[in-house]
């Protein structure tokens, strides 16, 4: 059974979303929450449903893409059970999984290459949480 992954983007991240989605669809079941064009949109309209799907277990992990990566990350992290890390290099994606048990990442389409976006997604999806000393820290993240 393929692992389920959520993906969403705004208009600035649309092209990267399509590339990453197509690349990952060979190995994962990718649920695309939009947007579906380069027309200007409000990213929370796509991020909230994607984050909810990870929060409730419908999808195991999620990938978000916008121009800077910041807006989608901030929005996703409003969800109590989401730990979304802004990743602009593969090593950050690896550490986000290993040390922070990140269940979503955001990527800045205006600042990374398409090839790097794929590499970041690969590292995120192939890295496991180390637990151990990191578990106690992760347990302290949620406020409620």
Residue-wise pLDDT tens digits, 72-122:
999 999 999 999 999 999 999 999 999 999 999 999 999 999 999 999 999
| pLDDT score at 27 | 96
- Show binding-site residues for D-ribulose 5-phosphate: 10-11, 67-71, 100, 110, 133, 137
Looking at the domain assignment, is residue 50 inside a domain? yes
Query: Among 48, 84, 99, 144, which one carries the catalytic annotation?
Result: 99
Q: What is the mean pLDDT of the chain?
A: 96
Active site residue 79: no
Distances 117 to 33, 79, 81, 124, 140 between C-alpha atoms, Å = 18, 24, 24, 11, 30
Kindly indicate the confidence band of residue 131, based on its pLDDT and cuts at 50, 70 and 90. confident
Domain span at 101: 4-139
Domain with residue 53: its CATH number is 3.40.1400.10
**Rounded average pLDDT over 29-34:** 98
144 falls within a domain: no
Task: Specify the higher pLDDT residue, 1 or 9.
Answer: 9
What is the count of structural domains for the chain? 1
Global pTM reads: 0.96
Please give the pLDDT value at position 36. Answer: 98
48-73 pLDDT per residue, tens: 999 999 999 999 999 999 999 999 99
């Amino acid at each position: 059974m393929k692992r389920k992954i959520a993906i969403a983007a705004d208009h600035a991240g649309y092209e990267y979303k399509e590339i990453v989605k197509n690349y990952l669809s060979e190995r994962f079941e990718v649920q695309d929450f939009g947007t579906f064009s380069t027309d200007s949109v409000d990213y929370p309209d796509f991020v909230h449903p994607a984050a909810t799907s990870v929060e409730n277990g419908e999808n195991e992990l999620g990938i978000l893409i916008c121009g800077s990566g910041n807006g989608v990350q901030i929005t996703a992290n409003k969800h109590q059970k989401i730990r979304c890390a802004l990743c602009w290099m593969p090593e950050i994606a690896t550490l986000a999984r290993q040390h922070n048990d990140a269940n979503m990442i955001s990527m800045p389409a205006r600042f990374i290459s398409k090839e790097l976006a794929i590499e970041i997604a690969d590292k995120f999806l192939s890295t496991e949480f180390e637990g151990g000393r990191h578990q106690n820290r992760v347990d302290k993240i949620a406020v409620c």
